[in-house]
Amino acid sequence: MRLHFFAILLLTFIFIVPPASAGNYIEKYNDENITISYKWRRKHFFIKNSPLILVLKIRNDNPHKVKVNFSVDYFWKTVIHSSSDTNTWCIKAGDKVKGKIRGLAFTTGSLTKQQIYDENFTWDISGFRVEHNSDCKTELIFRIRTVEDNGREE
């Protein structure tokens, strides 16, 4: 009986939780056959009051590999609040990259959920540049937090 309970619980977790947490991406930016979409999600899925993070998806509709560079800027009352470093992603032709494991999850610093949902908050892509480059290498970018970073993800 106990085994059946755990099997049902495991199957429920596998088939119900991922679709419920997936959410739909909203298109934000489209230029040079590159589309950037986003969604907001909790930084820690199982912690109800976890801060929100911005998760991006980049789709390459070009017939060749590209290197994409940009940064994310957060604005509060039309004044820049914070900005990410300029990051680079190499994306194969017709492919897409998304999520935290690819380095496409951005923290909002000191902004609260209420501020993010407020009409005075906005965010944008800056420094957008596409290089048509067959030499770039597609790889996973792992973010590691160290004590010396004071909470900044690398």
Residues 13-59 have pLDDT tens digits of 555 544 444 579 999 999 999 999 999 998 888 888 888 999 999 99
| pLDDT, mean of residues 124-136 | 86
Tokens of 48: 């109800």
48-77 pLDDT tens trace: 888 899 999 999 999 999 999 999 999 999
pTM exceeds 0.75 for this model = no
Say yes or no to pLDDT of 2 above 70. Answer: no
Q: Domains (ranges, CATH) in the chain?
A: 24-149 (2.60.40)
86-109 pLDDT tens trace: 989 999 999 999 988 888 999 888
Q: Which amino acid is at 121?
A: F
The more confidently predicted of residues 14 and 150 is 14
